[in-house]
Structure 1
Amino acid sequence: MLITDDFLPVPVPESLTATYLVPMVGLPKVGTKTAVRALAGRLAEPVYGLATQMLDSPLMSVDTRPVAEFPALPPDLLTAFGASQEQLDRLAAATHLVVVQAEYRPGWPPAHEWAARAVAAAVAESAGGDVVDVFGLQFLDPATALRSLPDDQGRIRLVDWVLVPYSSDAEGLWFTTKGLRRFGLLELQTQGVPDHLTRAWGAVLTGAARRLLRAWTDGLAGDEVPAFVQLPVLATVTGHDIAVAYGNPEQHGATAPVLLRLELDPATDPEADSFLSLRPPPGHPGPDGRYYAAACATLFDGIAPDVRYARPGDAMSRAIATAREGLDDVRARFLAGQLPAESQLVVKYGLPGDEGPEYVWAGVTSWDAPERIVGASASDASTDPTVRIGAPVVVEAADVVDWAVLGATGVIEGGWTQAVLDAGERPTPSSGD
């Protein structure tokens, strides 16, 4: 095995196992093979064939067990990963669990995950129940589980398979991925991320996961499973990586790549997980958080995608008024093709939330009617699960509080509210920024 300063050897597990549960009251009334046959014509053929073949092989097992025979699932973690009270109630009322397990070698395709999820979704659909992804500690309704499976070209949205939880400490935010071990790869982590980059860095880490997973599976493409795969110590992430990971490859912008340094962070506790840490490249001056903020500015065209403010003071009110006064003029220039070459027009608008509006940015793609703007979201919204990076959005002009024209190096024109926030009206970030 070649070890150089340019590559990091990452160990490869011998095999991988996927486990899915279907809680139910009583025993299943529909056989597993009958339930899977009901998916014919609804799943992409490679996945349907894979599921039926593995179901007939020793690589997959489907067992029905009393609930008491299976370790209790932690309701607090299930809730943290999106479980509703109705789903938790159905789990509490269940008398039996259908346990679907599949085993396969590391590599692509991840046959164990695709086949086991498909079979579990078929069983849950036939019983009118839920799927529990044991690895991700997530409830999935059957329709959502089936939508997450590959299309005819074998494409998936990585966000359906890899989560990015985070927590806060004295150094800032600690981000990890949860899902790369499905594919045999160690999970990623970043520490010391400034608080105001919550959603932006989650997207960056998802894009980095997509890029590294591709390198990982390329290293496993041979007939024999190697003991190690060499991953690049300096990994690049682009807007395209993020857009593809979110299932919107056509929405990516031509962003410059961002460099991140990969470090192996082995666990000292044998029961704990090892991580691959992402950090600034060598030679970066200043705290790590400053680099993360600059990386987000590059990947999101110089506009922070997750700006909130609850108390617009006089400066903010003037900024919003200034932006709104210029809307008609910038729309006219956008329609006439009079904005600077290679620039992009973006607008900021409010989404309703329990704690007040959440303000997000969107890139303008068309603006035919004065009152309605069609665009692509530049960020994930926490208040609306349909607003995701690259996803199409329709914005009412009355909801716009700011706009900006972006060039290769940042804001060319506009961005008045952002200037107010940058001057000190947003919450003070951690000392890392």
Structure 2
Amino acid sequence: MPCPALPEGFDATDPDLLQDRVPYPEFAMLRQTAPVWWCPQRRGVTGFDDEGYWAVTRHADVKYVSTHPELFSSGLNTAVIRFNEHIRREQIDAQRLIMLNMDAPEHTRVRQIVQRGFTPRAVRGLEAALRDRARAIVAGALAASADGDFDFVTRVACELPLQAIAELIGVPQEDRLRIFDWSNKMIAYDDPEYAVTQEAGLQAAMELLGYAMNMSAERKRCPARDIVTQLVAAEDQGNLSSDEFGFFVLLLAVAGNETTRNAISHGMHAFLTHPGQWELYKRTRPATAAEEIVRWATPVVSFQRTATRDTELGGQKISAGDRVGMFYSSANHDPEVFEDPERFDITRDPNPHLGFGGGGPHFCLGRSLAVMEIDLIFNALADTLPGLRLAGDGPRRLRASWLNGIKELRVSHD
């Protein structure tokens, strides 16, 4: 179905576009005129044997794709909709070892093991330590700001997700910046500021894998009372192999670090550009705030699936082997689901956003942990830095094809 109002060559995975903005006006056009629209992907397609993908923009359709894994595979072409143009097909296929890119039954087996670390009890057990860490992070930012403004991303937003991962899996806190560096290199291949080559990103992934596999081997030799031991100490009892644990940590470095960091960064920017909401938050601390921050930020713009057989979606015939892009950023602004979706409203309830995925087998395991982190850091900010304000020209966005990333946000305080 044509959508003639779109700019020539429009592709919502274009990193040049996403470095500038999330294309909400174009998403609105697509939802109204061509909610399942064929996009001839003209750039960054090395490794795929097709000429484009179906862009899915309505909330209901994104949720349908997410909840029908028998029709839409995560493993055939992986979940990442657009890779660096220099990637080779075998490098894409190797990423099927990551849980994000698995299908049942292997995905079911690995997820059942991994979710031991994300039970309500396990997450609640982290809360006291993470509350103290959130307060210390904000106190450190306050001290650092004595000489002027500071970068909210590196001083505040990146710290709690890193420390939460370290707390969760027993990484020494002094090693958390190594995870920060490795994860940045793995996802920043489209941003020339970081000058990260495909080879450097691959090397970072291998170093992180090696680090995690060494942790796994150590716990097998010397079990401890921690989540790593629960996941790896007895493979014959349904635990992870060292390789599988390594790929789980690699996934955490992105899914548990980059996404929560960007939600916090976007949330702070939203508060400071909607001062009435910041005042409301400081007064009332509504429990609904974190979910609205995630809806507003939608750190993952899109993931993809691949049709396993001929089917139909949104009035369009999808052929077996076609790639299907789920645009969460569009779904989370669908007026059929959200009243006044362009309004940042921390009291929004209900809030059935798809910021943690659209349900189904790949729904984010770390949702409760991410919501806790967001709540804790903004409570600490409201207590210690209530007079925060923007400094400079606003956020500098990451050049990426599927992440809604902020790499710098200068702030100061009264």
- TM-score, normalisation: structure 2: 0.25
Bigger relative contact order (CA 8 A; separation at least 6): 2
TM-score, L = length of structure 1: 0.24
Whose helix proportion is higher, 1 or 2? 2
Structure whose residues are more often strand by fraction: 1
